[in-house]
Chain A
Amino acid sequence: MGVSLSKKAESARSARATINYKAWLLDRGGDILLLVIIALMLLPIIFLIVGSFKSREEFAVGSNFFPSDWRFENYSEMWTRVKFGTYFSNSLIICGITTLVVTILASMSGYALARFRFPGAGGLSMAILGTQLVPGTLFLIPLYMTFLWMKNNLGIPLIGTNFGAIVLYVGFFLPISLWIQRSFFATIPIDLEEQAMVDGATRFQAFVYIVMPLAGPGVISTAIFVFLTAWDELLFAWVLNVQTIPVGIRQFTGVAGSQNRYELLSAASVVIILPVAAMFFLLQKRFIAGLTAGAVK
């Protein structure tokens, strides 16, 4: 046994010398491939940024990659030409409040699903996953009708308002968020809560003071996920006539009857990416830790 093992090691060692340069070559090939892929991934973003500084004519002709004259005034013109400030603040309000509410509710219900085996838990899990398999186009019509009915009969302004969008998005993003949270809570050892409860804490206190601080990365992942997705939602906002960025930005192109102003659209796009990018890269490490923890374990 031992002899055959050392023989194998011996032959592997002698083979290694010949393999070595082949491995080195493969490694350099990998470097080049990686470089090409990363370049292709970055190019569209760089293209968008430089395009936002071009003049309208230069953008249309597209002969230079970089603008011959960097027009920073595109940004101020973009801001005044459509009600960009309104769209931007609407989106911030809607996405901010939605993220806050969803994260709190998803933490509570995710914890309940991860720690309690209560009657109905199985059915609830099925319902949560099931909602992800239903196309938005199917429940958008009834939702619109319900919101319209509530507006007409109960006087609750749910259509064309930020409030309506928040109600919609909270319900919309809760199932998937609580599923992310649930899998994160499952990775936290239960001993700490048990210890706290032996020491006289109630279960609720143990959740608030012991579990939640430990769940930081999971909470951050959920929050960023919700914010990113809500920031990106177009269809429901359009149907409910909410003036968010995705709806408003379409005014720069043919839809609103104005001529296409691609350079202004580019400038607006850069501004739209900024808050998400800032948040994402500030919290990147914890976000990724949270997202992958539930998936890999």
Chain B
Amino acid sequence: MALAPKKNKLSLWQRIRQNSLAYKFIAPTFVAMLVVHLIPIVQGLYLSLLDVRLTTLTLYLKAPFVGLKYYIEVFNAIFGIGEDGTSSRVTGLINAASNTLVYTIWTNIGTLGLGLILAMLLNRNFRWRGIARTLVLLPWVVPTFVTGTIFNFIWLEQGGLANRILLGLNIIDMPITWLIGPNSLYALVIATVWRGLPFTTIMFLAAIQVIPTDLYEAASLDGANGWQRFRHITLPLIKPIAGTQVLFGLINGFYGGYNIAVQMFGGGTGFAGEYADLLVPAITRQTWERHLYGFGSAASVILMGMLLIFVGIWYRAFRDSLRAE
């Protein structure tokens, strides 16, 4: 674009011809996106209005039209209207939605908080800095389904690593049940934070490293203490990176967790139980094991709506740092 002579009065056709190479470069990508993303997304939205189940699957887009039936079912259940008609698939979904919210909030707090602390610690001068920076990357190379496997073993009630360490240090005197019941969601959160920590740490470290050191020196001369320097120099300057990390965290929180959960719970059957069932595993079960394809689509749209609400809040919070870029 910098090469093009700056004439403002070009017709659309001229501008298209001028950028013909760009279109050639984009064309294969556009076709791939159209086939794998855009067309299926539109079809998926439409599917959520159809009664597609095992018996009507072959009809596909010609399956009986039920309109907003599934959405109304879910909203009725949320607001307690028509309780008799509430089916297990809807209560399961609402339960999974609330778990997903808690999971997303805690994984974000854990990854961002620990990631920032770790980045600050790694940014100091010390002898083994190079090795330390490499070691913290290790969880990143562990695929998430393997992460689920590892933590399945770690959380085992009898003989699991976590209980043995906690018993050995006399922190607890009875083994904790990690994989069933109320603890299971936090067992999932910890596994997710462990896997996500390296990426966030590296991003924060990169952001902290480019902050000019004279800013800190000047602040010290003016008598600012460590906390004040952190609060008024470090935090504002890493806000753009933090913004991207929060967005990734929201997407991963709402849409992720499937691989870890599937491998961690139920000895491979993958059902986490009511305390730790997230939306994506729940929707997957409804869709592919109970063959409720239309309902699964509607549930996916509701999941997307949940994410978009949070992305909206995110956008308001980080709008300024986005504009600065």
Chain A positions within 8 Å of B, measured between CB atoms, are: 8-9, 11-12, 15, 26-27, 30-31, 33-34, 37-38, 40-45, 47-48, 51, 60-63, 65, 105-106, 108-109, 111-113, 115-119, 121, 124, 127-128, 131-143, 145-146, 167-168, 170-172, 174-175, 178, 190, 193-194, 197, 203-204, 228, 231-232, 234-235, 239, 246, 249-250, 252-255, 260, 262, 265-266, 269, 272-273, 276-277, 280-281, 284, 288, 291-292, 295-296
Contacts of A204 in B (CB 8 A): 21
Task: Indicate which residue in B22, B141, B202, B244 contacts A276 across the interface (CB closer than 8 Å).
Answer: B141
Other-chain residue from A37, A62, A146 in contact with B159 (beta carbon distance below 8 A) = A62
Q: Is the interface of A mostly helix, strand, loop or mixed?
A: helix
The answer to the question of B44 belonging to the interface, with a C-beta cut-off of 8 Å to chain A, is yes
The one of B12, B30, B207, B255 in contact with A124, judged by C-beta atoms closer than 8 angstroms, is B30
Task: Please give me the 6 A-B residue pairs with the lowest Cβ-Cβ distance, nearest first.
Answer: A62-B159, A171-B36, A253-B268, A292-B206, A118-B19, A139-B40
Q: B47 on the interface (CB 8 Å rule)?
A: yes
Interface size on B, residues (CB 8 A): 105
Residues on A with beta carbons closer than 8 Å to the beta carbon of B41: 131, 134, 138-139, 142
Residue in chain B with minimal CB distance to A30: B121
* Contact in complex: A194, B151 (CB < 8 Å): no
Contacts beyond the supplied A235-B280, A281-B141: 18 A-B pairs with Cβ under 8 Å: A12-B220, A41-B194, A61-B159, A63-B159, A109-B29, A133-B251, A136-B280, A137-B287, A137-B299, A138-B45, A139-B41, A141-B52, A171-B35, A175-B37, A190-B2, A228-B143, A280-B137, A296-B241
Chain A min CB distance to B45 (Å): 8
Query: Is the pair B150, A269 in contact by a Cβ cutoff of 8 Å?
Result: yes
Say which residue of A8, A26, A111, A145 sits within 8 Å of B60 (CB atoms). A145
Enumerate chain A residues within 8 angstroms of B288, measured Cβ to Cβ: 239
- Looking at the complex, which one of B33, B159, B296 makes contact with A174 (CB distance below 8 Å)? B33
- Check B1 for interface membership: any CB of A closer than 8 A: yes
